[in-house]
Structure 1
Amino acid sequence: MKLLPIDTDYLTDILLKLLFTPSPSGYTDRVVHLVCEELERMKVPFQLTRRGAIRASLAGESSEHDRAIVAHIDTLGAMVKGLKDNGRLRLVPVGHWNSRFAEGARCTLLTDSRQHRGTILPMKASGHTFAHEIDEQPGGWDNVELRIDEVVHNLPDLLKLGVRVGDYVAIDTAPEITDTGFINSRHLDDKAGAAVLLAAIEAIMRSGVKLPIDCHPLFTIAEEIGSGASSVLHQDVAEMLTIDNGTSAPGQNSSEFGVTIAMADQTGPFDYHLTRRIIQLCQEFEIPHQRDIFRYYRSDSAAALEAGNDVRTALVTFGIDASHGYERIHLDALESLTQLISIYMQSPALFLRDRYDIGPLTGFPSQPA
């Protein structure tokens, strides 16, 4: 195992490409094509599930014990709940996010035949008209509406335009990378994780290092609505590392710098041995890191286990401020995480016994007494 040089220009370039490709859960075909084109360019073989989850393959010296590394490429968004008599649209969220972060957002309405630009606004949006009533109106998705940039005054105008209940709304990401290394954007969860995984693959392919076991980079398309890595795994995968965001907020130990290793989330602790292997790799290769626990959080790992996969899982994250809102991360965390992922790809299998679905006690690990 060795530290590989990370191409940060590629890392930020592919991150921006991902951020500029709308992919609310359920409307992910375009971003699937983008990731597949990147894998083809790097000559990495891959397969797709029926709905578009991607399973790539990096061949190792042994195929008896496979590992997977997963990031999700779907994001939050919204759908049209109803067409209003004033020519505006009622919305419901896709994924779990607060309507206060939608207020003022520029977005794209995706109908069956066309795209329309628009803005999500609170019901009372004009200070010159409503004065203090603006501050007194309640929040919630029932109290916002989508104003589209078309000549529409009523319900018949909307129907003529082809707008229908169930149309998707993709929220503008508006990314900005500052001279100080901060990256501000919507949907860094988990486009930044996907960029990290692609950058780690790029480093492996460019360096030509040999992997000890087969590694499957996975890109899932429904994590924000709960199903995540439930259908893209196969029984040959014994250990899976998930890449997602860590919440750097009061009461949390996550950071926008270095790697944040999750010890547990709302679904329970992550695998003891795989998590300690990740900590050991950070210590051995002097990758800055910290540990955290997330109380209101789940990831691709939970979806994989709930679907019945008997796989060891761990979660590594980039610290993100204002998750599911106006998000911010730092390039330092993405570089550290890419280094860790490329090292993990080079590491030996956690336990040789894990190559069997079920077996004897021999070779089964033991935790410290």
Structure 2
Amino acid sequence: MSRLAIDHEYMLSVLEKLLQIPSPTGYTDPVVRFVSRELERQGLSVELTRRGAIRAIRPGKRESGARAIVSHLDTLGAQVKMLKDNGRLEIVPIGHWSARFAEGARATVFADGGGYRGTILPLKASGHTFNTEIDTLPIGWDHVEFRIDAIARNKEDIERLGIEVGDIIAIDPQPEFLDNGFIVSRHLDNKAGVAVALAALKALQDEQAETPVDIHFLFTIAEEVGVGASSVLTHNVASMITVDNGTTAPGQNSDEFGVTIGMADQTGPFDYHLAKKLATLCQENEIRYQKDIFRYYRSDSASAVEAGADVRTALITFGVDASHGYERIHTHALRSLAELITAYVVSPVMITRDFKETSGVKGFTRQPTGEARQELSPEVEDEELGE
């Protein structure tokens, strides 16, 4: 076995801290600073892109053919669309999530002078006033508003508070860490993935593990709006593993336990050889796993490839129930993912041709094309042969 022991308490502690840091897309500076400090505490130097995506390189035996582990720091949120005459805020979503899950959410709107607390409410929220109309109001972002917990009776009051169109709104996570291992919270996508990556790094550092190539730990800041890992990769990276959430919903094969290996998302299949390697590592290291395909889902891998990065990509996920809503995961999946990452980064590089960006056909990979021969029991094989 090549997997390393994971500091479970550290992983959950980091996750709890991450969940308390607001980081909707467009408002990620605070979480970038936190993760940067954590990486430096573990002994890595940190590089930031202009907007704040993080790159921290753990040296291996060689720079070329590097492997990358990527997860995203940004979460869903909302934004002020209009200051309303009734003293409330019209809002629009950041990222793709249903207003069904926004109704009743506690949140903070960030003005230049600081944050104001408030609640996202349906336009008709009082049963004593609207009676059964509160049950027939349509669901959608046009049918909710943000009630500010400050004196705001009209548009002029809102302006005096310093709240403006475009201000970012962070949704409270409301985390619960249960004794049976379940975790319920908003924004587990992808704060849990970040905690997994940091826990895997800690295991590597604690064991002073050697890797055949450099390992790039990457943390992106705009995955929820489709940008993701589009501008954080270097040309040294040959393969990239994205750590994100999988959906445990009807019609999906994901699970809240073990690793779920994504075989394809809405942009198409992931790399055949990299996905196969991950499954083999799970088998060799006795890590529970399953495979799934996500038809309405994209990740950092998609944004990297669409931006022109010629890297092998794969997706490993922790199963999430009610993704982009009140999400639920289990710590078993988080530990399994961290173990798989450690097994992967210390494993030998099998496709050495990938050390170069381009080369000839010699050493190029192969995929099975012949007809598979069914393995038969001796008794059945005798019958097939007519003996």
The reply to whether TM is greater than 0.5 is yes
* Structure 2 residue 187 is the aligned partner of structure 1 residue 187: yes
Instruction: Sort the Cα spacing of 1:272 and 1:136 in 2 relative to 1 into closer, same or farther, 3 A.
Output: same
Matching residue of 1:335: 335
Moved more, 55-64 or 31-40: 55-64
Partner of 1:155: 155
The higher radius of gyration belongs to 2
- Paired residues of 1:274 and 1:350 also in contact (CA < 8 A): no
- For residues 59-93 of structure 1, give each alpha carbon's deviation from its aligned partner in whole angstroms, at most 9, with x where no partner exists: 10122211101000000000000000010000000
Contact kept in structure 1, 2:270 and 2:313, CA below 8 Å: yes
The Cα of 1:295 is off from its aligned counterpart by 0.6
Aligned twin of 1:57: 57
Q: CA deviation at 1:211?
A: 1.0
Farther off after superposition, 346-355 or 325-334? 346-355
Runs of 4+ in 1 over 2 A off after TM superposition: none
Question: Which ranges in structure 1 are unaligned for 5 or more consecutive residues?
Answer: none
How many Å separate the matches in 2 of 1:157 and 1:209?
A: 59
Letter of the 1:176 counterpart: E
Q: C-alpha separation between the residues in 1 aligned to 2:116 and 2:248?
A: 35
Paired residue for 2:95?
Answer: 95
Distance between the aligned counterparts of 2:340 and 2:53, measured in 1? 24
Q: CA shift at 1:3, angstroms?
A: 2.3
Deviation by residue 1:26-66 (Cα, 9 ceiling, x = unmatched): 11000000000101111112211000000111110122211
Q: Secondary structure in 1 aligned to 2:315?
A: strand
Q: How does 1:354-369 map to 2 (within 5 A)?
A: 354-369=354-369
CA distance in 2, matches of 1:348, 1:90: 54
- 2:109/2:170 contact within 8 Å kept: yes
Whole-Å separation in 2 of the counterparts to 1:276 and 1:2: 17
The alignment covers a number of residue pairs equal to: 369
* Partner SS state of residue 145, structure 2: strand
| 3-state SS in 2 of match to 1:64 | coil
Equivalent AA in structure 2 for residue 309 of structure 1: A
Cα RMSD, aligned residues only: 0.7
Distance 2:95 2:350 in 1: 34
Q: Work out the CA distance in 1 between the residues paired with 2:228 and 2:45.
A: 21
Matched, 1:120 2:116: no
Q: Which letter does structure 2 place at the counterpart of 1:138?
A: P
Q: Which amino acid aligns with 1:363?
A: G
The TM-score, its normalising length taken from structure 1, stands at: 0.99
Shift of 1:4: 1.4
Local SS of the residue matching 1:256: coil
Cα offset for 1:200?
0.2
Residue aligned with 1:2, SS: coil
Query: Match for residue 82 of structure 1?
Result: 82
- Distance, in Å, in 1 between the alignment partners of 2:135 and 2:76 is 26
Check whether the contact 1:105–1:119 (CA below 8 A) recurs between aligned residues: yes
Match of 1:144 in 2: 144
1:31-46 equivalences under 5 Å are 31-46=31-46
Q: What fraction of aligned residue pairs are identical, expressed as a percent?
A: 61
Counterparts of 2:65 and 2:89, CA distance in 1: 51
Q: How does 1:1-369 map to 2 (within 5 A)?
A: 2-369=2-369
The Cα shift of 1:194 comes to 0.4
Note if contact 2:64-2:237 (Cα within 8 Å) is conserved in structure 1.
Answer: no
Between the aligned partners of 1:63 and 1:107, the Cα distance in structure 2 is 44
Residue by residue, what CA displacement relative to the aligned partner does 1:170-218 show, whole Å, maximum 9, x if unpaired? Answer: 0000110111110000000000000000000000001111111100010
Q: Tell me by how many angstroms 1:151 deviates.
A: 1.0
